[in-house]
């Protein structure tokens, strides 16, 4: 703080610092707007600017991208989507420095926990790091389809994905598969890591054959179904209680990735009648998304506000809403129209840049 030359802020929840800012000073020569204690920089407010020095790596040279996200390989014809840089209104983000990341977090274990959006986020970090040390010893290990870990052996840095759709448990019982809103058994694995990045949202409204449970349990009561937003809140509260009871903040830093938006409804971005992202090649100009934030973001903020241990919200919702151009659409190896996930390289690199800025 003392140097105060270049400052980055992030919203910190808990410890009664509700919506207040934490400014991290860093030496450098950056012309900066005058600021008061109240007006420090929120990294998540800004706009997308075209920058010819992007992308940060060539996705065709990253051997670890799954076919779901490998847009260039599967023929995406327009490449401008790779060239945008997130520019906060009040400060500059540090450029992602993979060498610095590996040295700084030497010996650390990083884990992403969540659904396929976490997988997307994780793949981007693996490629960002791979791109700076492509010749080094990188090992890959998969366990039970639940976790996959890439270890950068020369640095002892490991980056793991833990597949969990709801964070809370689904147990197979006599009556069928039960989504248990009050139970979070995998926490015993998670708490041994140094940096945790959680996410859950995509699956809470899934119904029919896409719904991976038959009943939903709260306390001792079993329901056939319930209001999905309130189920999401209850599940997240269970996670929040676990953060407070089981996380040692001296050892483990906890992040929660905000809601990742999809683009199937053009009315949201003032193109009524558009029902997917196929023809989108440029981001939305400016800092606001016409239809505003999805309601789930309120639940996330309310629940995180109630956590005592520090949890950093990677508040990526608005900046991702502006990127209607950043989805695979039909340019993936799985067919269909995907306006939910994101191309790698692409938007998730910015999520990792924000994670890096928050960590350093
Ligand atoms: C700081 O940056 C400004 C503009 O980028 C430049 O004019 C100035 O010479 C720099 N000062 C130092 C001490 O490097
Ligand atoms: C890479 O690291 C692993 C684990 O330390 C080791 O078993 C393996 O021999 C190394 N491979 C190379 C090519 O150095
Ligand atoms: C992985 O599989 C083994 C053997 O089936 C099982 O004992 C273990 O609990 C599983 N681990 C996880 C995290 O699911
Ligand atoms: C599309 O978005 C608009 C504006 O947010 C909303 O009013 C409408 O209900 C949405 N349509 C669908 C099919 O979700
Ligand atoms: C985006 O907004 C800026 C500033 O308002 C303007 O100069 C630019 O022309 C706009 N670009 C597009 C594509 O609308
Ligand atoms: C906040 O946490 C307390 C203690 O765990 C709990 O009793 C309360 O219901 C929570 N409130 C909200 C809004 O989550």
Chain segment 20-41, per-residue pLDDT in tens: 344 433 333 233 333 333 346 8
Task: Supply the pLDDT for residue 304.
Answer: 97
Task: Supply the pLDDT for residue 145.
Answer: 84
Helices within the chain (DSSP H only): 98-104, 116-132, 187-190, 228-246, 296-305, 317-321, 347-359
Task: Supply the pLDDT for residue 187.
Answer: 97
Position 258 confidence tier, pLDDT thresholds 50, 70, 90: very high
Nearest listed ligand to the Cα of residue 28? 1
Task: Supply the pLDDT for residue 35.
Answer: 34
The catalytically annotated residue of 116, 124, 262, 332 is: 116
Residue having the nearest C-alpha atom to atom 6 of ligand 6? 306
Task: Supply the pLDDT for residue 41.
Answer: 85
338 is catalytic: yes
* Percent of the chain residues topping a pLDDT of 90: 88
Q: Which atom of ligand 6 is nearest to the CA of 241?
A: 5
Exposed e or buried b per residue across 182-199, where buried means at least 16 C-beta atoms within 10 angstroms of its C-beta: ebbebbeebbebebbbbb
Are the CB atoms for 202 and 117 separated by under 8 Å? yes
Task: Supply the pLDDT for residue 144.
Answer: 84
Compute, in angstroms, the gap from residue 266 CA to the centroid of ligand 4: 8
* Percent of the chain residues topping a pLDDT of 70: 89
Q: Determine the angle formed by the axes of helices 228-246 and 296-305, rounding to 10 degrees.
A: 30
Residue having the nearest C-alpha atom to atom 8 of ligand 2? 137
Position 49 confidence tier, pLDDT thresholds 50, 70, 90: very high
Average of per-residue pLDDT values in the chain: 90
- Residues 313-346 have pLDDT tens digits of 999 999 999 999 999 999 999 999 999 999 999 9
Structure tokens given for 75: 């023929």
Cα–Cα distance for residue pair 170/173, rounded to 1 Å: 9
Position 106 confidence tier, pLDDT thresholds 50, 70, 90: very high
Residue having the nearest C-alpha atom to atom 1 of ligand 2? 137
- Residues 214-233 have pLDDT tens digits of 999 999 999 999 999 999 99
What's the whole-number mean pLDDT along residues 299-321?
97
- Residues 122-138 have pLDDT tens digits of 999 999 999 999 999 99
Task: Supply the pLDDT for residue 9.
Answer: 43
DSSP letter (8 states) at residue 93: P
């Amino acid at each position: 703080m003392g140097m105060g030359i270049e400052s980055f802020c992030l919203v910190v929840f808990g410890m009664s610092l509700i919506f207040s800012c934490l400014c991290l000073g860093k030496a450098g020569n950056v012309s900066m707007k005058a600021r008061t204690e109240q007006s420090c920089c929120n990294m998540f407010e800004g706009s997308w600017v075209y920058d010819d020095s992007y992308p940060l790596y060539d996705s065709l040279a990253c051997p670890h991208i799954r076919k779901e996200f490998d847009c260039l390989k599967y023929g995406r014809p327009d490449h401008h989507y790779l060239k945008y840089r997130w520019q906060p209104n009040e400060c500059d983000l540090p450029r992602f420095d993979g060498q610095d990341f590996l040295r700084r977090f030497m010996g650390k274990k990083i884990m992403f926990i969540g659904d396929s959006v976490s997988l997307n986020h994780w793949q981007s970090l693996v490629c960002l790091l791979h791109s700076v040390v492509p010749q080094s010893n990188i090992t890959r290990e998969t366990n039970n389809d639940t976790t996959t870990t890439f270890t950068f052996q020369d640095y002892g840095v490991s980056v793991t994905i833990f597949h969990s759709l709801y964070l809370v448990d689904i147990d197979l019982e006599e009556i069928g598969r039960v989504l248990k809103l009050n139970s979070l058994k995998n926490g015993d694995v998670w708490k041994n890591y140094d940096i945790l990045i959680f996410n859950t949202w995509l699956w809470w409204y899934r119904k029919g054959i896409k719904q991976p449970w038959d009943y939903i349990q709260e306390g001792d009561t079993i329901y056939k179904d319930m209001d999905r937003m309130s189920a999401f809140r209850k599940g997240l509260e269970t996670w929040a209680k676990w953060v407070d009871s089981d996380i040692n903040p001296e050892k483990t830093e906890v992040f929660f990735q905000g809601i990742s938006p999809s683009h199937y409804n053009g009315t949201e971005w003032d193109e009524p009648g558009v029902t997917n992202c196929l023809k989108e090649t440029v981001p939305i100009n400016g800092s606001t998304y016409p239809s505003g934030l999805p309601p789930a973001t309120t639940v996330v903020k309310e629940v995180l506000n109630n956590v005592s241990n520090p949890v950093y919200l990677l508040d990526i919702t608005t900046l991702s809403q502006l990127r209607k151009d950043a989805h695979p659409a039909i340019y993936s190896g799985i067919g269909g129209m995907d306006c939910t996930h994101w191309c790698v390289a692409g938007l998730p690199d910015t999520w990792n840049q924000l994670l890096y800025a928050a960590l350093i």
